[in-house]
Homo-oligomer: A and B are copies of this chain.
Amino acid sequence: MKQTVPLKIKTILIFIIFGLFLIFINTQKIPFFITAVIIVVLSIIFGFIIYFIISKSINVLEESARKVASGNFNIQIETDTKDEFYTIKQSFNRMISGFGTLLRISQLLNKERNLDKLLNLIISETTTIMNADRTTLFLYNKETNELWSYIAQELEIREIRLPVGKGIAGYVAKTGETVNIEDAYSDNRFDREIDRTTGFKTKSILCVPMFNLHKELLGVIQVLNKKEGIFTDYDESLLKFIATQSAIAIENAKLYADLESLLSSLIKTLVATIDARDPVTSGHSERVARYALAIGKKMGLSENELKILEYSALLHDVGKIGIRDEILLKPGLYTPEEYNIVKSHPEITKEILEKVYFTGDQKQIPFIASIHHEKLDGTGYPFGLKSDSIPILARIIAIVDVFDAIISYDRPYKPSKTIEEAIKILREESEHGRFDKEIVDIFIENKLYEIERRVSVRISPELLIEYRTIRPEEWHNIMPIIVRTKDVSGNILFFTTKEPLTVNSFLEVRIYLPEFTINVLAKVIKKQETAQGYEIGINFINLSPEIKKRIQKYLVDLTPIAT
């Protein structure tokens, strides 16, 4: 404890004055009785002087304590006079600001609902509060029994994976203990490999586990290189507190993210299922949503607007469920009567979506989704809206809906067109004042249509496949949907296409069976140039026997192309 002087000296000086005064009195030959009275009176006076000096500081402390207890963390006690209470005032101020920090973190973390932003926030706040060089947040993956770091600061480490038990963080994850090391390189639990790959030089480490409400391991927070000195007991309990708060906030954000993913995947799945009633339109809604999002992002729409755009685009054709198979799947052209029925689908979309519990700005979704066939010049349907009454989000969807229909809808009486032809049509429509020219320009000039370049190949009147070339870095992100077996022998399909595919490249293939659509991964294993283009052989990856059987059912009547 830091020693201060003033009060001690004051007290001693008072005693000396008191003593000298008494001696002076004593020399005056005053009777003992009076001397005694004087001593008592002076003792009371001097006692009060000392008491006053002390209590002044006590009062300040008390008043502050009262304020802090009621949640006021903006106070600080003045510490300009270096008296006895200097250190306690300092401690007190540290305590208040420490507590303020804890509370601020607690509030800050609980306000952030976006998991990515939350993790970044935890990292930056921890680094500042702990006065350290770097913070790494490891999340625990139960399924692989691994820790993975979400992100690390300053240097570009995107991901570190650690098996539980390996390195300091792995040790903490395994034992649940806090580890505080002055010099990492003298501790044999430390894994020097990470420093070697990142170029960072670890000195001191403080590492604590994070547990959720059910005492399950959620992850580990690791703080590296205390800027002044080493990590203290105080730092340990501070970091433990941060870990507790972070765990609550991470759990909340995760739950929220899971619910959002569930919602989004459910919409996509059900919409894809509805689309897939007509093999020709299969996958249409999700593609429209992806194009629309690409435009919306390029236009700098807010996250909120993008969400409305995405849901409206995904759900725009939901009303087609109200159109009977005999009309929807009619192999020829519609009669005017049938076409009128088909044209009722946006209204049915609106009626269906009005039953959904959308809140806030999302209440626009039924309307936005239902006006994707409106044109700026008022020639669209079902409402014949004109320019200003068609919101931007609906204009975007209208454009990409037509675009995807032109290039994807491959009907015997109306074959699909090339991207170049589709672009030409969009340009014409915008010049005739039917589409928003600005949006069409953004879509075309930024080549946003390329995000979804798919090629359809009709194998037989019943079987249509569609493929998209995927880049090597992308292919592990695309999960084949049915993974029940590792047996891939014989899963080969041949077709002819005009695209010069590369042998050994990966394709995402959609197979439109009359019952439903399947998405599978495939690898190009054969390419041969022919008069029609290229004869391609692809090998499906992880195809289940059931699906194989179903595909083979439709392939059985086809004459084999080649082997």
| A→B interface (CB under 8 Å) | 1, 7-8, 11-16, 18-20, 22-23, 26-27, 35-36, 39-40, 42-44, 46-48, 50-51, 54-55, 58-59, 61-62, 65-72, 84-85, 87-88, 91-92, 94-95, 97-99, 102-103, 106-107, 110-111, 113, 213, 233-238, 240-241, 244-245, 248-249, 252, 255-256, 258-270, 272-274, 276-277, 318, 321-322, 324-326, 344, 348, 351-360, 362, 481-482, 514-516
Contacts and interface: CB of A to CB of B under 8 A. Distances in A.
A482 to B, nearest CB: 7
Contacts of A235: 70
Given A1-B59, A71-B238, A262-B358, 19 more contacts: A13-B43, A22-B23, A22-B26, A61-B92, A66-B95, A68-B95, A71-B102, A106-B106, A107-B244, A110-B249, A113-B255, A255-B256, A259-B263, A262-B263, A262-B362, A276-B321, A322-B515, A351-B482, A352-B516
Residue with the greatest number of chain B CB neighbours at <10 A, chosen from A1, A348, A357, A360: A357
Nearest to A244: B107
A234 to B, nearest CB: 5
B260 A51 contact: no
A149 B138 CA distance: 43
A265 B358 CA distance: 9
A66 B42 contact: no
A238 B67 CA distance: 10
A41 B494 CA distance: 107
A325 B325 contact: yes
Contacts of A258: 357, 359-360
Main secondary structure of the interface of A (DSSP, over half): helix
A407 B39 CA distance: 105
Contact of A357 (B40, B61, B262): B262
Nearest to A46: B15
Given A106-B106, A256-B256, A354-B482, A16 B1 contact: no
B68 A98 contact: yes
Contacts of A277: 321
B515 A348 contact: yes
B269 A355 contact: yes
A26 B88 CA distance: 40
A261 B360 CA distance: 13
B54 A39 contact: no
Residue with the greatest number of chain B CB neighbours at <10 A, chosen from A61, A72, A256: A61
Nearest to A94: B69
A269 B70 contact: no
Contacts of A262: 263, 356-359, 362
